[in-house]
Chain A
């Protein structure tokens, strides 16, 4: 069955960086892309970035372009989100979600359980 297993919760200090991983199983990794979406406490969904599992093509929300890098490791079927220079505003649940391999616009038909990142001094 399709599974996206995300790394565990993180607590970081302001100015630090965090890496969230998303290990995929139950489907062909390179046939899909991966969206990263976050949700601050009590807030809605916010799209951050997409990466193709096929060719590594990426798209970023303008808001995150300078602080976020998304990558994949096709040898381990894992997608990664790196977020730098954290502030308290980055406290949120971070989701990876399976999307299309070619374009960012395909629907996300499978989601990971989310990773809580807390930024606090």
Chain B
């Protein structure tokens, strides 16, 4: 099972950034999203498709249907510039975790 993310997304401050994560029938799986800034460990920003951990701004939201899961970041700020990774649990290949390749969000 593989997850496909665009290598990069660029957005002006104040706009809405959408980062896609594609996978076969991904809508049937729970998708988690992580933000990783340079030199830092990843941080969970969305879990179980659309839930937000405490402390994560409401500007971060997730959706998942069909063959694409999406992380949306509204009112993008300079501090949102980071790599974003999607993750699923694949039970078809023996209960393993799969990460997408990551998307670099650049705030113009």
Contacts and interface: CB of A to CB of B under 8 A. Distances in A.
A106 B89 CA distance: 8
A112 B41 contact: yes
B71 to A, nearest CB: 13
Nearest to B97: A47
A88 B91 CA distance: 31
Nearest to B91: A105
Contacts of A47: 87, 96-99
B22 interface: no
Range of interface residues on chain B?
A: 20 to 34
Given A35-B97, A44-B101, A109-B53, A103 B89 contact: yes
Contact of A45 (B30, B47, B102): B102
A104 interface: yes
Nearest to A48: B97
Interface of B: 30, 32, 34, 36, 41-44, 47-48, 53, 83, 85, 87-89, 91, 93-102
Given A47-B87, A59-B96, 20 more contacts: A35-B97, A37-B42, A37-B99, A44-B99, A44-B100, A44-B101, A45-B42, A47-B99, A50-B97, A59-B95, A62-B94, A62-B96, A95-B41, A103-B95, A104-B89, A104-B96, A105-B30, A105-B89, A107-B87, A108-B34
